[in-house]
């Protein structure tokens, strides 16, 4: 268990009047307990309290692995396949005295299966959404977390450089994605997160492809990709010109690049997250492309590829040192194409650091 994170969790629980936090396998369980367990038909739930040791309910076949990961400071409860999960929940319900408690559960991760089982063994308990009761549990990253993202970014940028060292024209979007996946593994990626490759008219759909359409001279090609290192991601987008492109596409790219720069440069502690979106969106709107930028400017990065804070109109959350997020404005014109430039930023005491280093000027590739 990660002791300093558990202390911070208990402080926030006490302030919010939360008796117990119930976590599912996933990012929050990994963050709080260092537990990289996986969700299956056999329920696993971790319980965190104010004044007693954490507890973990696991199927019997996972007990040895869970015990090794959790260490001696956790009370383990298990159930066999013959007994069934209901028996395990009955054990924790009685032993942990869950009846009548105020329990925070993960609205975005807990299944009906676990929620109904907890309700059955905790009569009179009040269940609240963890995301609302204790928002932003993982929103401030420490040096180790940022360091893992630096490594993921370095791997991604090395792989992109290797990809561009060979001609891409004539290859399909799918073939290019396959090459990039190979370059990721050669560069040391622990896991490929995602790869989006869109070129020409397909670039008008931000999350399309990769398709079997061959990349052609005159296209803009957008590559949005990332890997993970020690569970933490990179998320980088660059748009390239395949040979000589039209003045319209060059202008689109220049507008997007300047919007990316505007959203980046406004970043500093104390500003509202929506100000990053406004700064980037203003550049695109002033250039006459406002209706072609139809997604938020960015999202947080951490154990999940998309997490708070979100750079979107209406988000008045103020940026703090240690927050990591993307700045990724784009312009997408149906039948013509599109462009997006995305960087990963960490808020510092006095401003920001851009973790991504890959060139932002329009690169012409073959």
To 10 degrees, what angle do helices 85-95 and 112-121 make?
50
- 243: helix, strand or coil: coil
Q: What contacts 41, CB < 8 A, 6 or more positions away?
A: none
Give first-to-last CA distance, the chain, whole Å.
51
Structure confidence at residue 119 as a pLDDT band (50, 70, 90): very high
Six token digits for residue 90: 């009955």
DSSP H or E stretch at residue 343? strand 343-347
pLDDT of residue 1: 66
Mean pLDDT value across residues 3-8: 91
Q: Are 236 and 358 in contact (CB under 8 A)?
A: yes
Six token digits for residue 91: 């054990």
Mean pLDDT value across residues 32-46: 94
pLDDT of residue 133: 96
pLDDT of residue 207: 87
Mean pLDDT value across residues 169-177: 98
Mean pLDDT of the chain: 97
Residue 142 pLDDT > 80 = yes
**CA separation, residue 110 to residues 6, 10, 12, 23, 49 (Å):** 20, 21, 21, 8, 18
Distance CA 159, CA 184 (A): 5
Mean pLDDT value across residues 127-133: 97
Place of tokens 């010109």: 241
pLDDT of residue 274: 98
pLDDT of residue 51: 86
Residue 207, by phi and psi: left (phi above 0), alpha (psi -120 to 50) or beta? Answer: alpha
pLDDT of residue 174: 98
Mean pLDDT value across residues 277-283: 98
Distance CA 262, CA 293 (A): 15
Place of tokens 């942990």: 96
Residue 278 pLDDT > 90 = yes
Structure confidence at residue 209 as a pLDDT band (50, 70, 90): confident
Distance CA 177, CA 248 (A): 26
Distance CA 172, CA 198 (A): 10
Mean pLDDT value across residues 189-209: 95
Q: Are 323 and 347 in contact (CB under 8 A)?
A: yes
Q: What is the 3-state secondary structure (H, E, C) of 5-36?
A: HHHHHHHHHHHHCCCEEEECCCHHHHHHHCCC
To 10 degrees, what angle do helices 173-186 and 143-164 make?
130
- Domains recognised in the chain with CATH numbers: 3-133 (3.40.350.10), 143-365 (3.90.230.10)
Six token digits for residue 269: 């502690």
Six token digits for residue 7: 């202390």
Of 30-34, 126-130, 291-295, the least confident:
30-34
Mean pLDDT value across residues 207-215: 92
Distance CA 55, CA 73 (A): 9
pLDDT tens digits, one per residue of 74-99? 999 999 999 999 999 999 999 999 99
pLDDT of residue 349: 97
Distance CA 94, CA 108 (A): 26
Distance CA 65, CA 38 (A): 12
Interior CA angle at 208 toward 165 and 188, to 5°?
Answer: 40
To 10 degrees, what angle do helices 247-265 and 273-286 make?
150
Distance CA 279, CA 359 (A): 21
Mean pLDDT value across residues 111-131: 98
């Amino acid at each position: 268990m990660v002791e300093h994170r558990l202390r911070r969790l208990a402080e926030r629980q006490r302030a919010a009047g939360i008796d117990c936090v119930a976590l599912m396998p996933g990012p929050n369980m990994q963050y709080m307990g260092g537990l990289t367990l996986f969700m299956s038909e056999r329920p696993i739930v971790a319980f965190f309290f104010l004044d007693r040791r954490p507890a973990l309910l696991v199927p019997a076949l996972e007990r040895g692995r869970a015990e090794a990961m959790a260490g001696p400071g956790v009370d383990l409860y298990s159930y066999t396949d013959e007994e069934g999960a209901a028996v395990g929940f009955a054990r924790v319900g009685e032993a942990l005295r869950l009846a009548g408690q105020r329990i925070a559960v993960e609205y975005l991760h807990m299944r009906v299966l676990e929620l109904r089982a907890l309700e059955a063994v905790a009569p009179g308990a009040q269940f609240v959404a963890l995301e609302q009761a204790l928002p932003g549990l993982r929103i401030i990253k420490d040096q180790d977390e940022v360091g893992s993202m630096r490594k993921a970014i370095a791997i991604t940028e090395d792989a992109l450089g290797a990809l561009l060292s060979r001609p891409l024209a004539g290859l399909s979007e799918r073939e290019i994605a396959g090459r990039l996946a190979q370059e990721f593994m050669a560069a040391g990626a622990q896991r490929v997160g995602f790869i989006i490759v869109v070129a020409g008219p397909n670039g008008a759909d931000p999350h399309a492809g990769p398709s079997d359409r061959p990349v052609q001279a005159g296209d803009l090609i957008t590559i949005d990709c990332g890997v993970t290192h020690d569970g933490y991601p990179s998320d980088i987008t660059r748009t390239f010109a395949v040979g000589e492109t039209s003045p319209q596409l060059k202008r689109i790219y220049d507008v997007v690049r300047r919007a990316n720069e505007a959203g980046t440069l406004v970043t500093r502690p104390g500003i509202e997250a929506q100000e990053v979106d406004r700064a980037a969106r203003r550049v695109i709107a002033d250039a006459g492309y406002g209706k072609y930028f139809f997604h938020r400017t960015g999202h947080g990065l951490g154990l999940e590829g998309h997490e708070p804070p979100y750079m979107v109109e209406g988000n008045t959350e103020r940026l703090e040192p240690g927050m990591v997020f993307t700045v990724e404005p784009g312009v997408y014109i149906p039948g013509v194409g599109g462009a997006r430039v995305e960087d990963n930023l960490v808020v510092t005491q006095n401003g920001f650091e851009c973790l991504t280093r890959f060139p932002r000027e329009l690169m012409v590739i073959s």
